[in-house]
Chains A and B, each alone.
Chain A
Amino acid sequence: MSQNLGNLEETVLLIVAVMAEEAYGYTVSEAYYKHMGGRISISAIHTVLKRLEKKGLIISKMGGATAERGGRRKRIFEVTKIGMSTLEHIQSNRMKLWDLMPKLNFSA
């Protein structure tokens, strides 16, 4: 894997992948709060999304405008194939490591 993903990048990528509704700045930030507990600012989310897009892990298109947004359009993100495989790759690497975890049993 050529791409190095930071912790936050990986989390955001994962969130975009699992989100059922449209993924854009505000919804991603809310989903982050919902799933991870902590808050990060929308500007930080934007930066991460932009970086992920640059790396080709997600792709964006402009979506529709709503009244809540003051008539502004959304930039909606979707995970690309590379993004998906990157996630899977990370996951399988992790699992391999977990399998190596010595299984100690203190109760015996």
Chain B
Amino acid sequence: MTNYKNISPPGWANRFLEWYCADDLLDEIQGDLLEAFYFRKEEVGVGKAKWWFIWDVLRFFRPSSFGKRSYNSNQLAMLRNYLIVSLRNFRSHKGYSVINLSGLIVGITACLLISLHVMEEVTYDNFHPKSDQTYRVVMDMFGQGELKTKSAPVFAAVGPNLLNDLPEVEMATRILPFGGGVYSVRKSDGTLVRFNEEHAVLADENFFEMFGFELIDGDVKNVLAQPKQIVLSQSAAERYFSTENPIGKSIFWRGTRELKVTGVYKDFPENSHMKFDMITSLKSWDGYEEFMNNWGWYDFYTFVKTPANISQKSLDTKLEDYLDEKKVDFYSERNVREVMWTQKVGDIHLYSTNLSWDMGQNGGGEQIYFLSIIALLILVIAWVNYVNLATARAIKRAKEVGIRKVVGAAKSNLIVQFLVESFLYNAFAVIISLLSVWFLINPINNILEISLETSILFGSTIIGGLLVLILLGTLCSGLYPAIVLTSFKPVTVLKGRLHTNRRKFGFRQVLVIFQFTASITLILGTFLVIKQLAYMRSQDMGINIEQTLVLTGASSGSSNEDLEERLKLFKTKLEALPEVKGFTLSNNVPGIENFSISGFTSKHYPTELRDCYRMRIDDKFISQFEIELLAGRSFSEQMATDTSAIILNKVALKHLGFNTPEEALGEKINPNTERPLTIVGVVDDYHQATLKQALNPVIFTFRKDFGDFYSIKMVSDDYSSSLARIEREWDELYPDNPFDFFFLDELFDRQYKADEQFNTIFIGFAILAIFVACLGLFGLVSFTVEQARKEIGIRKVLGASVDKLVLLLARDYARLILLAVVIAFPLGYFLMQEWLKGFAYQTEIGVGIFIFGGVTISLIAFVTVSFKSFSAANGNPVNALREE
């Protein structure tokens, strides 16, 4: 027997119907719906019938069902009147209304855009199962008691051993970021599809259980369980197999290793700090069996999950001395130590900074706080401006208020009226802002090369937030004008006497000063960012990267010998081309971060390992890139001993304790080891990265016939056909390797992208701040001018000229602007210095920026002020004076 409750329609829906439906219509409407429910529950089942009933109730919720109950209530009539009056007011003062509205819109739009960004940032990696209990194990590496490196990846053995030893760890997954290189697929028609993959990794078999990435095809437990299995992202699958089903097909890594595709996953979401295009099973790695005991190789990103009752702190305590026991001999022998700790997976994106070999662009946690505060500030300023302008208007509308009062409006009525008006403004502004964000998102994404998503925009958080915003805005921005307006005494108002002291130093003045301080600071900042960027670009790099085409080296071949042979052939062929002036091999080029770093000893530091960056280059590198040789010589193919020769740069020279280049020549590096290296040359420093970073110590070693990058110096009038010729040669020799190229100067310039983005954002904020500040100023001017109309009229009648009057009015504001300048200049100077500290090479701040910034803001302010005061000073004094 089904109980009664289950077979009747949902009570709340029924009550809702009874509530809104007019009594005389209830019979037919409710009757029909109940009858429909009665029969439908037999037909389609109770559950569906209930939904149907609710839907029908909602469909009936319309004016025709309400009857004519309360239409002639006085309250409603007044509400309608308020609406009409508001709209009329809007229409009759279009200019003012549009200015006021645009202030709100700009404020809310900016606030929305920032919120989108903030929300995207704080939701990073929150989609993993039990993401609160998912941690990444990282470690601090100490040498001689001193912190040397903080490393994001840890040892191969850490993952499985933690799982065995600690009850705090219930799942562990390792990711090895060494899957890069050429991947190729043989099509049925014999052609070879090949690409260089950067974001390819190897991972433990439980990868898709650990993380919330969605497998479209393949079984979560088995896709990575066996050696030689690979899982592709959707876009990678399309790249290699277009429309075909990739499952079970073969894909070749570096030409020789055959992998079988076992699954396809949805491309990682934007808010994941990891971005992998392909994942190979970790078991495919040669020597996988030894990983369990490998406590030396630390290239494994290791993630663990804990049971629900384990805190991060207790896990960290266990991890802190975990390695001491495992590596006791190693540690005591070398006087080193490694200490592991954890990061919550959701915290990696915002708070994982200063870790070496980290994945993704992390950091910026403080920025998010900062941005949230800015967003709130912008909103508050926009509201305050609204208040300012609305109160200024109030004086004009004082008569309306007076009449309403005389006719019998209570104070509460008037307050409601102004709240209705501010509600209209706020609601309208929010709607327009939503629309403008919708339209602005794509251009903004393009300009800043970020990826704000519109999907969040219509999510419950933002929409809910906006509703709160409308209500809050209505109250915040409506209440003050409402109270000011309603406090007018009708008699005074109707007589036309309404004065406050023009020179009073009130809230409005403070606000304007604040706004202008912010604007000036931002303008100064903008100029400085532009100047610093230009400065960095104009500096001598110490290296000539012009007209250099760089090819990504071939990595797909049957053996290393095969690759070497082909490279030799390719080199000869290219050098035969008339436009090719040089060809050199290296494992890195300027503009790409150098990750290879090792410790070296010298006679000045016989025991202490001094960290230097390593570059492997061939004999042409130094001459082709026009790096200055300070002493000694470059590598030479003729010298058989050059396999153990090295070249230092100037920083490395000092770093290893030598005083002059000449002194170092012939000296040994790593003197007391099996393989000492001889210094044959010293070169001048050049910038591997932008001038943001200081110069690093670099040690060059010799390696011919091999390189990750092939740099080609070209002199040509027609680069596209030269490029085509080079590509033809490539395709002939390297049918199994993709032709990937870039121009070195362009690549190098791309490093300034982040700074340019910062600049764009800065300019955006500066414009916004100026706009908002001008609105505030405009509101203040309108307010004063409105009050001083009689004063102006009398002065004019007594013979004051228009210029004098404008100056008189402008003088008040000049004081405010001046005060803002006085605050902004030192503040700006301080902030600019702070910002410049992030750069190794800094431009002079200079007086020019201040003069230029000050003049710009003064001009803008003057235009704003005169806009209103000219019209006031030009007006016929009769109009101002006859109202009594």
| A contact residues vs B (CB 8 Å cutoff) | 24-26, 29-30, 41-44, 46-47, 50, 62, 65-66, 68-70, 72-75
List, in ascending order, chain A residues with CB within 8 A of B27's CB.
62, 72-75
B30 engages A72 (CB within 8 Å): yes
B28 engages A46 (CB within 8 Å): yes
B31 engages A43 (CB within 8 Å): no
B28 engages A43 (CB within 8 Å): no
A44 engages B32 (CB within 8 Å): no
Q: CB-nearest residue of chain B relative to A60?
A: B28
Q: CB-nearest residue of chain A relative to B26?
A: A72
CB of B34 within 8 Å of the partner chain: yes
The residue that A26 contacts in the complex, of B26, B36, B59, B62, with Cβ under 8 A, is B36
Q: CB-nearest residue of chain B relative to A44?
A: B59
List, in ascending order, chain B residues with CB within 8 A of A73's CB.
27-28, 31
The residue that A47 contacts in the complex, of B26, B55, B56, B64, with Cβ under 8 A, is B64
A72 engages B36 (CB within 8 Å): no
Closest chain A CB from B827 CB (angstroms): 63
B32 engages A24 (CB within 8 Å): yes
CB of B39 within 8 Å of the partner chain: yes
Query: Known interface pairs A41-B56, A43-B56, A43-B59. Does A29 touch B36 (Cβ–Cβ under 8 Å)?
Result: yes
CB of B35 within 8 Å of the partner chain: yes
A70 engages B56 (CB within 8 Å): no
CB of B771 within 8 Å of the partner chain: no
CB of B285 within 8 Å of the partner chain: no
Query: Known interface pairs A26-B36, A47-B64. Does A69 touch B31 (Cβ–Cβ under 8 Å)?
Result: yes
B36 engages A42 (CB within 8 Å): yes
CB of B60 within 8 Å of the partner chain: yes
In the complex, what distance in Å separates the CA atom of A46 from the CA atom of B61?
Answer: 13
List, in ascending order, chain B residues with CB within 8 A of A46's CB.
28-29, 32, 60
Q: CB-nearest residue of chain A relative to B9?
A: A70
How many inter-chain residue pairs (CB < 8 Å) link A and B? 66
List, in ascending order, chain A residues with CB within 8 A of B39's CB.
26, 30, 68
Q: CB-nearest residue of chain A relative to B57?
A: A43
Q: CB-nearest residue of chain A relative to B61?
A: A43
For chain B, residues 11 to 33, give those with C-beta under 8 angstroms from any C-beta of chain A.
26-33
A72 engages B34 (CB within 8 Å): yes
CB of B341 within 8 Å of the partner chain: no
Interface residue range, chain B: 10 to 19
Would you give the 0/1 interface string for B737-768, flagging 1 where the beta carbon is closer than 8 Å to chain A? 00000000000000000000000000000000
CB of B38 within 8 Å of the partner chain: yes
List, in ascending order, chain A residues with CB within 8 A of B60's CB.
42-43, 46
Enumerate the 9 nearest inter-chain pairs by beta-carbon distance, A residue then B residue, closest first. Answer: A72-B31, A25-B32, A69-B31, A43-B59, A75-B28, A68-B38, A70-B34, A26-B32, A73-B27
Q: CB-nearest residue of chain A relative to B36?
A: A26
Known: A44-B59, A46-B29, A68-B34. 9 other contacts (CB 8 A): A25-B28, A26-B31, A26-B36, A29-B32, A42-B32, A43-B59, A69-B38, A74-B27, A74-B31
Q: CB-nearest residue of chain A relative to B52?
A: A41
Closest chain B CB from A36 CB (angstroms): 17
In the complex, what distance in Å separates the CA atom of A47 from the CA atom of B63?
Answer: 12
List, in ascending order, chain A residues with CB within 8 A of B35's CB.
26, 66, 68-69
B56 engages A42 (CB within 8 Å): yes
In the complex, what distance in Å separates the CA atom of A66 from the CA atom of B259?
Answer: 72
List, in ascending order, chain B residues with CB within 8 A of A50's CB.
64
List, in ascending order, chain A residues with CB within 8 A of B38's CB.
68-69
The residue that A41 contacts in the complex, of B28, B30, B59, with Cβ under 8 A, is B59
In the complex, what distance in Å separates the CA atom of A30 from the CA atom of B52?
Answer: 14
Can you list 9 A-B contacts (CB < 8 A)?
A24-B28, A25-B31, A26-B36, A29-B36, A42-B32, A42-B56, A69-B34, A70-B30, A72-B31
List, in ascending order, chain B residues with CB within 8 A of A66's CB.
35
Q: CB-nearest residue of chain B relative to A68?
A: B38
List, in ascending order, chain B residues with CB within 8 A of A47's CB.
64
List, in ascending order, chain B residues with CB within 8 A of A62's CB.
27
In the complex, what distance in Å separates the CA atom of A25 from the CA atom of B39?
Answer: 14
Closest chain A CB from B170 CB (angstroms): 52
List, in ascending order, chain A residues with CB within 8 A of B29's CB.
25, 46
In the complex, what distance in Å separates the CA atom of A50 from the CA atom of B59?
Answer: 16
In the complex, what distance in Å separates the CA atom of A74 from the CA atom of B32?
Answer: 8
In the complex, what distance in Å separates the CA atom of A74 from the CA atom of B28?
Answer: 5
In the complex, what distance in Å separates the CA atom of A73 from the CA atom of B24?
Answer: 11
Would you give the 0/1 interface string for B69-84, flagging 1 where the beta carbon is closer than 8 Å to chain A? 0000000000000000
List, in ascending order, chain A residues with CB within 8 A of B32's CB.
24-26, 29, 42, 46, 69, 74
Closest chain A CB from B861 CB (angstroms): 59
In the complex, what distance in Å separates the CA atom of A73 from the CA atom of B59?
Answer: 21
Q: Which of A24, A25, A30, A43 has the most CB atoms of chain B within a 10 A radius of its CB? A: A43
Closest chain B CB from A98 CB (angstroms): 36
List, in ascending order, chain B residues with CB within 8 A of A25's CB.
28-29, 31-32
Closest chain B CB from A39 CB (angstroms): 10
Closest chain A CB from B318 CB (angstroms): 63
List, in ascending order, chain A residues with CB within 8 A of B26's CB.
72
Q: CB-nearest residue of chain B relative to A65?
A: B31
In the complex, what distance in Å separates the CA atom of A66 from the CA atom of B32?
Answer: 11
